[in-house]
Chains A and B, each alone.
Chain A
Amino acid sequence: MEKFETYHHDVLVIGSGGAGLRAAIEASSAGVKVAVVCRSLLGKAHTVMAEGGVAAALANVDDRDNWKVHFADTMRGGQYLNNSRMAELHAKESPDRVRELEAWGAVFDRTDDGRILQRNFGGHKYPRLAHVGDRTGLEMIRTLQDHGIHQGMDIYQEYTIISLLKDGEKVVGAFGYDREKGLFKIFHAKAVIIATGGMGRIYKISSNSWDCTGGGISLAYHAGAELIDMEFVQFHPTGMVWPPSVRGLLITEGVRGEGGVLRNNKGRRFMFDDIPDNYKGQTSTDEEEGWRYTQGDKNAKRPPELLTRDHVARCITREIKEGRGSPHGGVFLDIAWIKEKLPNAAEHIKRKLPSMYHQFKELAGVDITKEPMEVGPTTHYIMGGVQVDADTQMTSTPGLFAAGECAAGLHGANRLGGNSLSDLLVFGKRAGEFAAKYAKETAEGKINGAEVEEIAARALAPFEREANKNGENPFQIQSTLQDMMQELVGIVRTDKELSEAIDRINGLKELADRAACGGNRGYNPGWHTAIELTHMLTVAEAIAVAARERKESRGGHFREDFPEKGDRFGELNICIKKGAEGKMEVKHIPKQKMPPDLQQIIEENK
């Protein structure tokens, strides 16, 4: 093993987005030696793209807000499949996590009396999202980065982890390579935290960065950790649809929070036509009242555009399918109309939604202060992922922790906007804290040299195939997978299509085993993609298998062949695990029981 450069740390954090950095800061402050592995450069992770805000019941704008209401909103949004303990911790702790960012230098937009301003968002009863215009994620990641670099952690930029390493049942490190030279590295660690974010890149139309390939979920799965809720993928209702090269790029829900409305090609606000029963009590049926809500009228109910993302995405899909869509296959999102209501509306829009203005102007040649945007659903987030203990974020594999999007439980069947940024702060901190504690109580494990050699040989195989001229183009396999997932495992699903998807994934696995790449190991995207295919295919398979198993429609998961909610499925989570033979196993596990005090909070907030 002398041939591979080897590092020793107490806690290894894989991923440098919000959750990874928050975990690393916490672990460092506990006095252990921490490594952060960034797949890209530091500060470039997908968290930078978060726009609308971070949800926390600070009650700065509406003093009726508190953690109980936030808890109840999160559970309702998740269709009660959420882990209630996680939802409780999240609602209770997110205000402190946001205030802490301010103490580290974050500069949130302000209320008139100088406190952190909060805005409306889908599914949140009160204005709850602390924000910085529409670039909240950038503010968060920069704050964590600029604070974190002074905490004494070792940061490995542009390193990719290929596999976790185990000693018996325990995770004891990881194996990867640096992109610059393509040299293999061994990381010894007493505890490993997976914070690798989501998997949007396995779909063709996605709002996600290139590195959102589900890598960490796959690493954990192959290390024996259990996954849950993988069928719940969030399709954000408003992605760009034109021009084709930016299809899927996110348009923040903040546009609707600031008064933007959805219309079909008949000019109708179709969201008024379908308001789910469990939201009827809090949703306006009157356009004028909806506008007043967005402008802060505490007595007004929210407009139906701010219903949960799963529902809005399905309504948009319906409009498009039934021929009422926009010219390029979306619907219209109009914020320009507010000029009827506000003086200086154009300036107001540019101030509240600067990146959106910029994005449409630069990439589509559309001035959103003058004309409506064309929007359609885009793959945005996975509610499922690695199953974790609510308090400690430890997975079912000892020594392995997970936090942020790659972990599961908080969001249930559908995530509310703004709850992901608070998720990664609350549970990033917890993962860091408990991983450090675990590391202090644990001795360094032993790494199996033969196993490492085998992983290295497998990773290098694409070069040999290229030399023998019998390989497949990894980019081609990736793009076939993306098209297939979009077509067969998208917003509307059926048993037939999901079964076909699973067959085709198996076919693609065989192709991926023959992926080839030329050139040398230094900064080689072809090689990187060839290695990445294993992760992408694993996650794609888990989604398709779980989606086929859940024979009902709930939250982000809609089955055309089972369009209603099923009582039995409302009581269970679908769990996926790697079986002894290496085959994917699926089982039903009863959902976690909610204690009476939390049950009561839900009743009180119905």
Chain B
Amino acid sequence: MALTKFNIWRTNSNGGQFQEYTTDITEGMVVLDAVHQIQAESANDLAVRWNCKAGKCGSCSAEINGHPKLMCMTRMADMPADKVISIQPMKAFPVIKDLVTDVSVNYRTKLKIKKFKPRKPDAADGTWRMAQSDIDRVQEFRKCIECFLCQDVCHVLREHDLHEQFMGPRHLVYTAALEMHPLDVEDRRGDIKTEGGIGFCNITKCCTNVCPEKITITDNAIIPLKERVADKFYDPLMKLFRMLRSS
């Protein structure tokens, strides 16, 4: 390949602006390689968060030509050759510097979700038995690398900034993994209805589309959770039963 132009978001005292850089792209490079090369050659203080460069840690989330992606898993060969490539930080989170955002809200949100609570062990040696078929779904959710791209693209968080009212797709997936865990005996349905704000989600599936782990967030996690919430709080028979029981 050849010299390629990039527009990279740089913060400054007035907020920030795109700055143009040019670097030589060789075969097989990903966007993160290009950013590193620019950093080493001409912008030593360009801030970018990254760890594994293998799509496993979920640190290098950004918006590349407007699309939320992991920089380490986006190949330069898949970028349009004739256009300047734009790289900017995730929009749904406050910017710390350049491409690095403050994602701490996600850690605070997770802390509010009730932790895993297993049933009593099945065997005398303190172990449990679970069939593989019963954990396939939970294992799908546990593939999540916490890149927060789903939070970034969710319009409730991105456009309306409702981080305090709506836990967002990542934490619904996390809750689903706990709720559907064959050993777990906790009940989180009330929490996701009220504090979690599951009702805000109107299943546009934007989160599913950006997930680098290809977790079917909406269909497999959020919709079943909505159904569980509905069963608990809106089922007329159950409502009657609860009224009778409490009276």
The contact of B135 among A110, A363, A519, by CB within 8 Å, is A110
B97 lies within 8 A of A44 (CB): no
Contacting B96 at CB < 8 Å: which of A110, A180, A209, A246?
Answer: A180
Closest to A102 in B: B128
Name the A residues within 8 Å of B28 (CB-CB).
Answer: 242-246, 363-364
A479: B residues at CB distance < 8 A: 40
Q: Is A21 an interface residue (CB 8 A)?
A: no
Q: Tell me the residues in window 43-62 of chain B with beta carbons closer than 8 Å to chain A beta carbons.
A: 44-59
B73 at the interface (CB under 8 A from A): yes
Q: Which residues, 399 to 447 on A, are CB-close (under 8 Å) to B?
A: none
Give A523 to B10 CA distance when docked, in angstroms: 12
In the bound complex, what is the Cα–Cα distance between A442 and B103 (angstroms)? 37
Q: Name which of A75-83, A468-476, A576-584 contacts chain B.
A: A468-476
Please name 15 pairs of A and B residues whose Cβ atoms are closer than 8 Å in the assembled complex, sorted by A. Answer: A44-B59, A105-B178, A110-B132, A114-B131, A142-B144, A180-B96, A209-B51, A245-B30, A249-B53, A358-B55, A474-B44, A475-B44, A519-B44, A522-B97, A523-B47
| B44 and A107 form a contact (CB under 8 A) | no
Judge if B129 is at the interface, Cβ distance under 8 Å. yes
Complex interface residues of chain B between 11 and 53 (CB less than 8 A to chain A): 26-30, 33, 39-40, 44-53
Binding-face segment, B107-115, B199-207, B217-225, B238-246: B107-115
What 1/0 mask marks residues of chain A from 114 to 155 whose CB sits below 8 Å from any chain B CB?
111000000000000000110101110010001101100000
Interface contact A157-B104, CB-CB below 8 Å: yes
Interchain CB contact under 8 A, A524 and B59: no
In the complex, the chain B residue whose C-beta lies closest to that of A111 is B132
Given contacts A135-B56, A146-B115, A363-B75, are A519 and B132 in contact (CB under 8 A)? no
Given contacts A115-B129, A132-B139, A523-B100, contact A209 B57 (CB under 8 A): yes
Contact between A475 and B131, CB atoms less than 8 A apart: no
By a CB distance below 8 angstroms, the chain B residues around A46 are 51-52
Q: B67 at interface (Cβ–Cβ under 8 A)?
A: no
For B32, the closest partner residue in chain A by CB is A245
Contact present for A48 and B56 (CB under 8 Å): yes
Min CB distance B94 to A, Å, is: 11
| B97 / chain A contacts, CB cutoff of 8 Å | 180, 522-523
Asked if residues B51 and A138 are in contact (CB atoms below 8 Å), the reply is no
Question: In this assembly, does A518 line the interface, its C-beta being within 8 Å of a C-beta of chain B?
Answer: yes
Q: Check if A525 sits within 8 Å of B45, measured CB to CB.
A: yes
Q: Which of A35-43, A335-343, A534-542 contacts B (4 or more CB under 8 A)?
A: A35-43
- Chain A, Cβ-Cβ closest to B30: A245
Interface residues, chain A, with chain B CB atoms under 8 Å away: 40-46, 48-49, 99, 102-105, 107, 109-110, 113-116, 132-133, 135, 137-139, 142, 146-147, 149-150, 157, 180, 209-211, 242-246, 249-250, 355, 358-359, 362-364, 473-476, 479, 517-520, 522-527
Q: Is B155 an interface residue (CB 8 A)?
A: no
What chain B residues lie within 8 Å of A517 (beta carbons)? 44-45
> Which A residues touch B50, using CB under 8 A?
210
Min distance, Cβ B34 to any Cβ of chain A, angstroms: 9
- The count of chain B contact residues (Cβ–Cβ below 8 Å) is 57
The 4 closest A-B pairs by CB, nearest first: A243-B28, A519-B45, A526-B44, A114-B129
Which residues from B are CB-within-8-Å of A527?
45
Q: A41-B103, A110-B135 are in contact. Are A525 and B130 (CB under 8 A)?
A: no
Flag if B39 contacts A525 (CB, 8 Å): yes
Report the bound CA distance from A522 to B11 in whole Å. Answer: 11
Residues of A within 8 A of B131 (CB): 110, 114
Note all chain A residues with C-beta closer than 8 A to B104: 157
User: B39, A107: Cβ atoms under 8 Å?
Assistant: no
Besides A44-B51, A115-B129, A146-B110, 10 other CB < 8 A contacts?
A44-B58, A107-B138, A107-B142, A110-B132, A135-B143, A139-B142, A180-B97, A249-B54, A355-B56, A363-B75
A245 with B40: CB separation less than 8 A: no
B51 touches A146 (CB 8 A): no
Cα–Cα, bound, A132→B132 (Å): 11
Residues of B within 8 A of A43 (CB): 146
B116 within 8 Å of A (CB atoms): yes
Chain A residues with Cβ below 8 Å from B75 are 362-363
A242 to B26, CA, bound (A): 12
Give every chain B residue within 8 A of A103 (Cβ-Cβ): 118, 126
| Known contacts A114-B130, A138-B145: A40-B51 contact under CB 8 Å | yes
Chain B residues closer than 8 Å to A523, beta-carbon distance: 47, 96-98, 100
Residues of A within 8 A of B144 (CB): 142
Q: Does B127 contact A (CB under 8 A)?
A: yes
| Nearest chain A residue, comparing its CB with the CB of B102 | A180
Contact status B33-A245, CB under 8 Å: yes
Q: Which residues of B contact A474 (CB under 8 A)?
A: 44
Q: Tell me, rounded to whole Å, the shortest Cβ–Cβ distance linking A47 to chain B.
A: 10
On chain A, the residues within 8 Å of B118 by CB distance are: 103, 105
Q: Are B26 and A244 in contact (CB under 8 A)?
A: yes
Decide if B189 is an interface residue (CB 8 Å cutoff): no
Considering the chains assembled together, what is the distance between the CA atoms of A475 and B128 in angstroms? 50
In the complex, are the beta carbons of B45 and A49 less than 8 A apart? no
B55 touches A113 (CB 8 A): no
In the complex, what residues of A have CB within 8 A of residue B40's CB?
473, 475-476, 479
Q: Are B130 and A147 in contact (CB under 8 A)?
A: no
Instruction: Tell me which residues across on chain A come within 8 A of B102, comparing CB atoms.
Output: 180
The answer to whether B30 touches A99, judged by C-beta atoms less than 8 angstroms apart, is no
| A517 CA / B30 CA spacing, docked (Å) | 26
Contact across chains for B59 and A142 when beta carbons are under 8 A apart: no
